[in-house]
Amino acid sequence: MRVKKFFAAMLVSAVALTLLAGCGGSGAKSGGADAKTVKVGVFLPLTGDNAAGGELELRGIKLANKLYPEINGKKIELVVADNKSDKAEAANVAARLIEKDKVKVILGSYGSSLAMAAGNIVKEAKVPAIGTSCTNPQVTLNNDYYFRACFIDPFQGTVMANYAFKKGAKKVAIVQEVSNDYAVGLAKFFKDAFEKLGGQVIEVANYQTGDKDFTAILTNIKAKNPDIIFAPGNFTESALLIKQARQLGIKAQFMGGDTWETQEFIDVGGKDVEGIAFSSAFDRERATTAEAKKFMEAYKKEYKGEPSAFNALGYDAYMIAYDAMKRGGTDDSTKIRDAIAATKGLELVTGKTEFDKNGDPLKGAVIKTVKDGKFKYIDFVDVKH
Amino acid sequence: MTMKKRNLLLSIIAVIVLFGVANFVQLEMDAYIRRIVNLCMIYAIIGLSMNITNGFVGQFALGQAGFMAVGAYVVGIFTVPVAMRPGVFYATPMNPAIINIYMPLGVALIVGGLLAALIAFVIGTPVLRLRGDYLAIATLGFSEIIRIVITNASSITNGALGIKNIPPLNDVRIIFLATLITFILITLLINSSYGRAFKAIREDEIAAEAMGIDLFYHKNLAFMISAFFAGIGGGLYGALLGTVDPKNFLFTLTYNFLLIIVLGGMGSITGSMLGAVIVTAGLEYLRVFDEPLELFGMAIPLFRPGFRMVMFSVLLMFCVLFWRKGIMGTEEFTWDKFVNFCKHPLAYFTKKGAHAE
């Protein structure tokens, strides 16, 4: 009994300590929040399944904040919140940023489902949010307060279909990661666009996230002999898929989406992924705007490495908010929202940015390949303005 | 005034007070607090539902995420306004048989619960013949099967793309009523002859059978009731978020509720409620550990995103080490104990062998 009481007392003191820490944290925060700062919420998955992507985008946002720390004489304070790659947490944290931290604008998230969970909250609170790499069209649909820095699945799918057709492909097979919203969306719009161009989709095969063996799918596809195989999906599964296809003697070119742009994709795929093609938001060689040069130089200095598309999108999301606050002021979220919607000809890292009526940017895509173990730029597809 | 009458009166007063609190939260508090309170209550419903099979019948079943998915998807599919559906189902058009069926939230919740119970019946018939770890694995597997079926039935569920534009439910009072009804129904069930049969099965299956309890019938019944409430909870969860997708309902979601009932006490209704509040609100409260902290002008490097999970785990370890049966064990909060405590607050601590609550 005595032991139990002792530990109960310990537990109570632990809780008390936590309380103290809580007071300390919030005290410091309220001390810093005055008329001289404007708060920008950063809403990203920093733990959980999507942590890698969230971390990359956070780097981009932090870099932008370092280069552009002030607006209209006010300091911009980033309030970073982790949504744990979980929808319920994402909704909580979005509400917390708005109600507790009183942010004027929210940046994020990586992962469309997380952004969708926050959708209703930003809409009700009338605080604009700028998605970094949530490409599902539903994120901004029927939501005047959600924008995004990246292009959307329909555009990316269409771009790849046009590219495939231009390369002379007539018969295409699609292998999609059916449990991934991104892959399903891309495959659907690729199919629509490709058939409209007069091409033929001869096979649509599905696999699940985490699958390791694709022999059954591939044997079936090999018999039908397509010119190109469009296989949007997670990078690990895609790399394995391509490797196994080459082992089976399938010669057709593989095409995919921007998830492939990670070092792991090349590491897993090795020689077999050479010559593939995928669309991306950003390329170092193609990045011609002044902002892009500034971004790349600063990135190399800050993080000692080469920036990726996710870094660039994080940076751009911040810049869209920055530009809008310059025009719409920093006090009223609704005015910031209107200013974001009115963005015109803003030169960013990933190209010129303007929004359509849904809040999706009209932005071009680059097409890249893998050559000698490195990502290489091959083409640029602009959007019709 | 008899004890029974007094307790009933106290209960009614408590409900009225709590409803008043819910009303206050709804009208006066900000959206963040409202959301946390709502989530606490929804998790309490699902925790309660899981406690029926795991705590009272003593069957280690881990299928809650699957049943939640069923409830959430019924709400998702049928409460989205018909006009918005083509926008939501943009990849695969919605099945023409259901495209014009609209249900208000209340109806969809009940339908979702009933469908979950039906699925539990189908699954339970073969699976409940298993015991212990095997049952846990089988139910876990079935919950994943439900999720994978949802992922692939894209003309009904929109597959991996998920469903958006579910009319949001963020009214504390409604969710409070749902929680209250669940609480009352489950309390009545546990105190009925069925409840006593459940507990008998938990204590000793062979003895229970020898006493004439139909094991299979009672296990299946408990499994179905548990699935029914999990379906209702899942539906509320979907409506609270306004969007559902299959990745919400990974089997890891089940562990969340397992944590709630283990912490609160396996086989305690009030314990599950308490556990739900502690886990949900506690995790939010610990968010201060995720924020950068400066002490005397020095930034402490430990305070970064993810640190709160470390703290949470440490606190949990303490709880599990020193309250091995959870905070409430198999005890319940009763008015008798409460009144006794109020009358002799010190006796509670000094008396030897007193239960720690």
For residue B162, give the nearest of A47, A93, A113 by CB distance: A113
Instruction: Give the model's confidence band at A10: pLDDT under 50 very low, under 70 low, under 90 confident, else very high.
Output: low
Instruction: Give the model's confidence band at A8: pLDDT under 50 very low, under 70 low, under 90 confident, else very high.
Output: low
Q: pTM of the entire structure?
A: 0.89
pLDDT of residue A23: 46
Centroid of chain to Cα A220: 33
Q: Do A21 and B293 touch (CB under 8 A)?
A: yes
H or E segment to which residue A191 belongs = helix A181-196
CA A201 – CA A205 distance, rounded (Å): 11
What is the rounded average pLDDT of the residues A334-349?
92
For residue A96, give the nearest of B32, B154, B353 by CB distance: B32
How distant, in Å, are the alpha carbons of A88, A93, B266, B306, B316 from that of B286? 16, 12, 25, 10, 13
Q: Do B31 and A125 touch (CB under 8 A)?
A: yes
Instruction: Give the model's confidence band at A52: pLDDT under 50 very low, under 70 low, under 90 confident, else very high.
Output: confident
Domain A154-280+367-381 has CATH 3.20.20.70: no
Nearest to A106 by CA among A149, A159, A53, A169: A149
CB atoms closer than 10 angstroms to residue B102? 14
For residue B305, give the nearest of A82, A184, A208 by CB distance: A82
CB atoms closer than 10 angstroms to residue A118? 34
Give the alpha-carbon dihedral of B24, B30, B32, B33, to 10 degrees: -30
Q: What's the mean pLDDT when you consider all of chain A? A: 87
Superfamily for domain range A36-151+287-354: Response regulator (3.40.50.2300)
A109 upstream amide cis, omega within 30 of 0: yes
Q: Which residues of B touch A184 (CB under 8 A)?
A: 91, 154, 159-161
Q: Number of A to B CB contacts under 8 A, please give it.
A: 147
Residues 296-335 on B with a CB inside 8 Å of A are 305-306, 309, 311, 315, 318-319, 321-322
Q: In angstroms, how far is the first alpha carbon of chain A from the final one?
A: 76
**Which tens digit of pLDDT belongs to each residue from A66-122?**
999 999 889 999 999 998 888 989 999 999 999 999 999 999 888 888 999 999 899
| Residue showing tokens 């370092």 | A66
How distant, in Å, are the alpha carbons of B208, B214, B293, B309 from that of B200? 5, 11, 52, 38
pLDDT of residue A4: 59
CA A2 – CA A278 distance, rounded (Å): 66
Q: Is B204 left (phi over 0), alpha (psi -120 to 50) or beta?
A: beta
Q: For residue A11, is pLDDT > 90?
A: no
Q: Do B162 and A116 touch (CB under 8 A)?
A: yes
Q: In angstroms, how far is the first alpha carbon of chain B from the final one?
A: 28
CA B230 – CA B224 distance, rounded (Å): 10
Nearest to B256 by CA among B284, B234, B276, B231: B276
**Which tens digit of pLDDT belongs to each residue from A282-323?**
888 777 788 999 999 999 999 988 888 899 999 999 999 999
Beta pairing partners, A351: A348
pLDDT of residue A30: 42
Residue A31 CB partners (closer than 8 Å, separation 6+): none
Centroid of chain to Cα B120: 16
- Write out the two tokens for A241: 């898929």
| Chain A nearest CA to B210, separation (Å) | 38
Residue A285 CB partners (closer than 8 Å, separation 6+): A377
Nearest to B272 by CA among B226, B339, B239: B226
Instruction: Give the model's confidence band at A247: pLDDT under 50 very low, under 70 low, under 90 confident, else very high.
Output: very high
CA A122 – CA B128 distance, rounded (Å): 45
Q: Do B31 and A179 touch (CB under 8 A)?
A: no
For residue A178, give the nearest of B159, B237, B287 by CB distance: B159
pLDDT of residue A29: 43
Q: Which residues of A touch B164 (CB under 8 A)?
A: 116, 119, 138, 141
Which residues in chain B show pLDDT less than 70? 1, 294, 296-298, 348-357
Q: Do B165 and A24 touch (CB under 8 A)?
A: no
Residue ranges covered by each domain of chain A = 36-151+287-354, 154-280+367-381
Residue B24 CB partners (closer than 8 Å, separation 6+): none
| Residue showing tokens 């869209």 | A320
Residue A28 CB partners (closer than 8 Å, separation 6+): B293, B294
CA A29 – CA A23 distance, rounded (Å): 10
- Whether residue B112 contacts residue B244, with contact meaning beta carbons closer than 8 Å, is answered with no
What is the rounded average pLDDT of the residues A236-263?
92
pLDDT of residue A12: 61
Q: Do A8 and B356 touch (CB under 8 A)?
A: yes
Q: Do B245 and A87 touch (CB under 8 A)?
A: yes
What is the rounded average pLDDT of the residues A175-179?
91
For residue A184, give the nearest of B35, B160, B237 by CB distance: B160
- Whether residue A327 contacts residue A337, with contact meaning beta carbons closer than 8 Å, is answered with no
Q: What's the mean pLDDT when you consider all of chain B? A: 90
- Provide the CATH topology of domain B34-294+303-335: ABC transporter involved in vitamin B12 uptake, BtuC (1.10.3470)
For residue B35, give the nearest of A46, A92, A184 by CB distance: A92
| Chain B nearest CA to A289, separation (Å) | 33
Q: For residue A15, is pLDDT > 70?
A: no
Instruction: Note the maximum CA span of chain B.
Output: 71
Does this complex have an ipTM over 0.90? no
CA A60 – CA A327 distance, rounded (Å): 22
Beta pairing partners, A277: A255
CA A351 – CA A343 distance, rounded (Å): 13
Q: Do A181 and B162 touch (CB under 8 A)?
A: yes
pLDDT of residue B303: 78
| Residue showing tokens 């086989």 | B267
Q: For residue A1, is pLDDT > 90?
A: no
